[in-house]
Amino acid sequence: MASVRDDAPPTTSKSRETRNSAVDAFPQDRGDTLIGRSVTINRPRAELYAYWRDFARLPTFMENVERVEMLSPTRSHWVVKAPGGKTVEWDALVTEEREGELIAWASTEDADVPNSGRIEFRDAGARGTIVTATIVYDPPAGLVGKIIAKMFQREPAIQARRDLRRFKQLMETGEVATSSRTRAQLQEEKA
Amino acid sequence: MRALTWHGKHDVRVDTVDDPEILNPRDAIIKISSTAICGSDLHLYDGFIPTMKAGDILGHEFMGEVVETGPGSTLVKGQRVVVPFTIACGSCYHCGKHQYSACDNGNPADNQDIGMELYGQPMSGLFGYSHLTGGYAGGQAEYVRVPFSDVGPIVVPEGLDDDEVLFLSDILPTGWQAAENADIEPGDTVAVWGCGPVGLFAVQSAFLMGAARVIAIDHFPRRLELARKFGAETINFEESKTYEALMEMTGGIGPDAVIDAVGLEAHGFFVDNVVDQIKASTFLGTDRIHSIRQAIVACRKGGRVSMAASSTSSRSAPSWKRGLRSRPGRPACSTTCQVCSTRSSKARSTRPS
């Protein structure tokens, strides 16, 4: 019997089953953990899309991303900070793209941290644009890896919501807010 | 530079720390000329506010001279400015609605998690007021870094002394908004709990907004004397029973609007206060809000309650911190039934058959 559907996104579902089927519906899913986060940004959709599409600029607000190299318009190389001062690297491919609306990606088969996801941009009238990130990934080294990652605040769900806030800050104010007092403190915080 | 730093409950020290630097384009550095201690600094001193860290620089009421500016600042070196205690970006949806204390961006991304967990949504950044509001260094120091300096700081017109404008940083606007939130109507009787600076400013603001009578409540005779100077009638709660006095002074009706300018560390030996204090000291509660309870009880039926002073309890803080407007009340049936009946018969006549 079909259950009564509600309008809540599957990323907020209490049911493992619903979340799993959302992962399955993902083209080229790379993992079994689904996270999603939306933020409203008081800027036009086209502007936000254009900034994001130039992946090399993502480290300006993604604190755990050291650098992204564009190998081709659809292939990029990612260098990402990992717990314990290490880095992990992978290549990602754009799997779907709709100008001004959506970018989907998936890491290549041999990635250290398999991940895939999509970033969507929807008009929100006078409030700007709703930006939604949906990410499917494999937590590094299982549960222990996840706990360690969380301790270092590199847990993807936390990272994603903070990255989106920083993206909002950068787009709305032209800078990423910091409460550091000195340049040395700021460097320490970013490390 | 020298700065007043927090090290724990009842432990603040003047330490030597590194001078602040310009970190973002819209920053400015201010050399402090005057700074004040706010009543809410006592909540930090008394250990009521979570997320303080050892070494945090205190102070959110300050003013001074602009000594350095980032390329995106509109301030000019040498200008004298008063700095509001809220750190707001000026460009988000909430700033656009002039709800600067609800700014989306003034609080750094990592710190917003705490506010989200505790109150549902993070608020703007604040100077010198715990990591919940950003972990920004405060102004009880020689210098301070002011982010988004093109939005908050008010340039002081010539001829005004520090003492004449310093209160623009917090307590005057706080008192004014307390009166504004009471939706005062001409001829109203307004009661104000607490005659500290915020309460006294609320008394004066209430008169400016048309209140016919303001009744000020405190237990310090000196403060009550000041309230009387501004035209208020007074109640000393150590000498009179506040609720009974208010009822008698308003012919049994109660004040039309009540303003709480006391908040989470209410004084006085009252049963609920003692219970709250025990709860706070055993970590079962985080505040003692006798004045808020009393203000609500004394207000006339259908009246207005304005809560200006800090609250940290899990029940009231999500509303207070975020400036929510709630309108409790049983329906005033004789009027609303009329309206509903008219609307539903109209709906029936326009419904396609």
Do A172 and B135 count as a contact with CB atoms less than 8 A apart?
A: no
Ramachandran angles phi, psi of A169, nearest 5° = -60, -50
| Boundaries of every domain in chain B | 2-169, 172-322
- Pick left, alpha or beta for residue B257 (phi over 0 → left; psi -120 to 50 → alpha; otherwise beta): beta
Window from B14-18, B74-78, B113-117 with minimum mean pLDDT: B113-117
In Å, how far is B259's CA from the nearest CA of chain A? 33
* pLDDT at residue A57, as a whole number: 96
Give the Cβ contact number of residue A9 at 10 Å.
Answer: 13
* pLDDT at residue A1, as a whole number: 38
Q: Residue type for B299, please?
A: C
Mean pLDDT across the stretch B213-219? Answer: 96
pLDDT of B279 over the 70 cut: no
- Pick left, alpha or beta for residue A158 (phi over 0 → left; psi -120 to 50 → alpha; otherwise beta): alpha
- ipTM score of complex: 0.87
Do B137 and A184 count as a contact with CB atoms less than 8 A apart?
A: no
Do A177 and B93 count as a contact with CB atoms less than 8 A apart?
A: no
pLDDT of B260 over the 50 cut: yes
| Paired residues of A54 in beta bridges | none
* pLDDT at residue B297, as a whole number: 93
- For residue B109, give the nearest of A127, A166, A181 by CB distance: A166
CA B12, CA B41: separation in Å to the nearest integer?
11
**Does B115 contact A at CB distance below 8 Å?**
no
* pLDDT at residue B170, as a whole number: 93
Q: In what order do the strands lie in the sheet with B233-236?
A: B233-236, B213-218, B189-193, B257-260, B304-307
Where does the pLDDT of residue B266 fall: very low under 50, low under 70, confident under 90, or very high at 90 and above? low
Query: Which of A28-32, A53-57, B344-348 is modeled with the greatest confidence?
Result: A53-57
**Does B142 contact A at CB distance below 8 Å?**
no
Superfamily (CATH H level) for B2-169: Medium-chain alcohol dehydrogenases, catalytic domain (3.90.180.10)
Window from A65-74, B59-68, B142-151, B327-336 with minimum mean pLDDT: B327-336
What CATH number does domain B172-322 carry, 3.40.640.10, 1.10.1740.10, 3.40.50.720, 3.40.630.10? 3.40.50.720
* pLDDT at residue A2, as a whole number: 45
Best probe of the B interface among A40, A127, A167, A175, by most B CBs < 10 A, is A175
- pLDDT tens digits along B182-215: 999 999 999 999 999 999 999 999 999 999 999 9
Q: Give the end-to-end CA distance of chain A in Å, rounded to a whole number.
A: 52
Structure tokens at B147: 């982010």
Mean pLDDT across the stretch B3-14? Answer: 97
Window from A143-152, B62-71, B236-245 with minimum mean pLDDT: A143-152
Mean pLDDT across the stretch B159-176? Answer: 95
* pLDDT at residue A153, as a whole number: 60
Task: Calculate the CA dihedral of residues B268, B270, B272, B273 and round it to 10 degrees.
Answer: 20
**Does B153 contact A at CB distance below 8 Å?**
no
Do B23 and A183 count as a contact with CB atoms less than 8 A apart?
A: yes
B24: which chain A residues are within 8 Å (Cβ-Cβ)?
A: 175-178
Window from B173-187, B246-260, B301-315 with minimum mean pLDDT: B301-315
Secondary structure of B187-255 in the HEC alphabet?
Answer: CCEEEEECCCHHHHHHHHHHHHCCCCEEEEEECCHHHHHHHHHCCCEEEECCCCCHHHHHHHHCCCCCC
Structure tokens at A22: 């959302």
Mean pLDDT across the stretch A9-35? Answer: 82
Q: Which of A165, A124, A172, A125 is nearest to B95 (CA)?
A: A172
* pLDDT at residue B311, as a whole number: 60
pLDDT of A61 over the 70 cut: yes
Window from A149-163, B14-28, B277-291, B312-326 with minimum mean pLDDT: B277-291
CA B147, CA B73: separation in Å to the nearest integer?
9
pLDDT of B160 over the 50 cut: yes
* pLDDT at residue B245, as a whole number: 96
**Does B128 contact A at CB distance below 8 Å?**
no
Mean pLDDT across the stretch B297-309? Answer: 91
- pLDDT tens digits along B23-32: 999 999 999 9
Q: Which of B310, B319, B263, B271 is nearest to B288 (CA)?
A: B263
CA B116, CA B196: separation in Å to the nearest integer?
31
Please report, for residues A2, A9, A10, A18, the alpha-carbon distance to residue A5 in angstroms, rounded to integers and kept in the order given.
8, 11, 11, 11
Where does the pLDDT of residue B285 fall: very low under 50, low under 70, confident under 90, or very high at 90 and above? low
Q: Please give the share of chain A, as a percent, with pLDDT higher than 70.
A: 89
* Residue of chain B whose alpha carbon sits nearest to that of A41: B92
Mean pLDDT across the stretch B149-156? Answer: 97
Mean pLDDT across the stretch B241-246? Answer: 95
- For residue B108, give the nearest of A153, A174, A178 by CB distance: A178
Q: Give the end-to-end CA distance of chain B in Å, rounded to a whole number.
A: 79
* pLDDT at residue B303, as a whole number: 96
Mean pLDDT across the stretch B337-342? Answer: 88
Mean pLDDT across the stretch A20-27? Answer: 80
In Å, how far is B93's CA from the nearest CA of chain A? 6
Q: Which domains, from first to last, does chain A contain?
A: 27-190 (3.30.530.20)
Q: Check if the beta carbon of residue B27 is closer than 8 Å to that of residue B73.
A: yes
In Å, how far is B329's CA from the nearest CA of chain A? 31
Give the max Cα distance, chain A.
61
* Residue of chain B whose alpha carbon sits nearest to that of A180: B136
Where does the pLDDT of residue B50 fall: very low under 50, low under 70, confident under 90, or very high at 90 and above? confident
Q: Which of B29, B30, B35 is nearest to B14 (CA)?
A: B35
pLDDT of B106 over the 50 cut: yes
Mean pLDDT across the stretch A6-15? Answer: 86
Do A173 and B135 count as a contact with CB atoms less than 8 A apart?
A: no
Q: Check if the beta carbon of residue A146 is closer than 8 Å to that of residue A123.
A: no
Q: DSSP 3-state assignment of B166?
A: helix
**Does B152 contact A at CB distance below 8 Å?**
no
What residues contact residue B79 under an 8 Å CB cut-off, 6+ apart?
B65, B66, B155, B156
Burial B255-273 (b: 16+ CB within 10 A, else e): bbbbbbbbbbbbbbebeeb
* pLDDT at residue B350, as a whole number: 73
Q: Which of B173, B217, B219, B210 is nearest to B189 (CA)?
A: B210
Mean pLDDT across the stretch A30-40? Answer: 86
What single DSSP character describes residue B313? S
**Does B92 contact A at CB distance below 8 Å?**
yes
- pLDDT tens digits along A95-153: 999 999 999 999 998 877 788 899 999 999 999 999 999 988 876 666 556 665 655 56
Place of tokens 């000329």: B33
Do B109 and A186 count as a contact with CB atoms less than 8 A apart?
A: no
